[in-house]
């Protein structure tokens, strides 16, 4: 897959055990829309709509905090198993978001990029995604990546298939394959690995999100449903991250 280069230099790994700066790349698992709606006796669709409002707030807060990369887990490959009505509501909200927000993203210096199996959303949505990516391609303040119909295991399997094809064609020796080479075949090939992954709703799992890339990420789990997520919650997670000591496997001594 050919991916245009991003607009900021890759992260430099901090010294193990040294002072912890703010994270350059934050991944966010947005969880709790349906529970938010159920708790209020509202239709699921209104929970997802409130979740879109939280996305708007969070993108602005991330840009204001100086975060260079923000990756949002918006729709997993497993979400296709939900009811047809809910999938239709989610895809409709996606198209509305792209139409209404792309101007604001461009104005605020945010570059939008989508990873995942975008073709599964149909030609109308794919066209809206491509238009939004093109309109924001020159922005440098914040690289916003939205994971849609994304699953990390499928991503890794796809990278393995690409490398296997190179071997089968005689263009690559099997013993030449290493971690860096596999990473270059992932959807995030031109991005730094996430420093921090946040999950809302109180759940404490990755749910097939950036499994390869999160090998040395810090995790913060917040007991707040996604539609209620505010800039203050992002600040809370960032403060917790700064208190951590990242050792990258070198030990505690």
Q: Which residue numbers are catalytic?
A: 31, 79
253-to-98, 156, 245 alpha-carbon distances in Å: 49, 33, 12
The radius of gyration of the chain from alpha carbons, rounded to an integer in Å, stands at 18
148-to-7, 72, 74, 238 alpha-carbon distances in Å: 21, 9, 6, 25
Binding residues for Mg(2+): 31, 218
Q: What is the dihedral of CA 75, 110, 192, 114, to 10 degrees?
A: 30
Binding residues for substrate: 32-36, 44, 48, 76-78, 80, 82, 199, 205-207
Question: How far apart are the C-alpha atoms of 67 and 82, rounded to whole Å?
Answer: 33
Question: How far apart are the C-alpha atoms of 219 and 199, rounded to whole Å?
Answer: 8
């Amino acid at each position: 897959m050919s991916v245009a280069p991003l607009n900021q230099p890759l992260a430099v790994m901090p010294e193990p055990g040294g002072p912890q700066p703010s994270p350059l790349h934050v991944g966010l698992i947005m969880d709790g829309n349906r529970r938010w709606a159920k708790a209020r006796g509202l239709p699921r669709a209104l929970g997802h709509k409130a979740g879109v409002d939280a996305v708007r707030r969070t993108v602005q807060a991330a840009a204001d905090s100086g975060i260079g990369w923000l990756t949002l887990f918006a729709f997993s490959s497993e979400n296709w198993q939900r009811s047809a009505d809910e999938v239709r509501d989610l895809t409709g909200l996606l198209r509305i978001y792209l139409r209404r927000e792309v101007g604001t993203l461009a104005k605020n210096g945010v570059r939008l990029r989508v990873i995942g199996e975008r073709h599964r959303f149909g030609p109308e949505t794919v066209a809206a995604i491509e238009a939004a990516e093109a309109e924001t391609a020159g922005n440098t303040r914040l690289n916003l990546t939205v994971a849609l119909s994304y699953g990390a295991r499928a991503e890794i399997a796809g990278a393995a298939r690409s490398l296997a094809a190179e071997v089968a064609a005689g263009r690559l020796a099997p013993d030449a394959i290493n971690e860096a080479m596999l990473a270059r075949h992932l959807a995030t090939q031109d991005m730094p690995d996430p420093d921090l992954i946040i999950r809302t709703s109180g759940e404490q799992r990755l749910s097939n999100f950036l499994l390869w890339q999160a090998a040395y990420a810090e995790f913060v789990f917040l007991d707040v449903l996604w539609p209620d997520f505010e800039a203050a919650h992002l600040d809370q997670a960032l403060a917790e991250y700064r208190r951590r000591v990242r050792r990258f496997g070198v030990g505690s001594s």
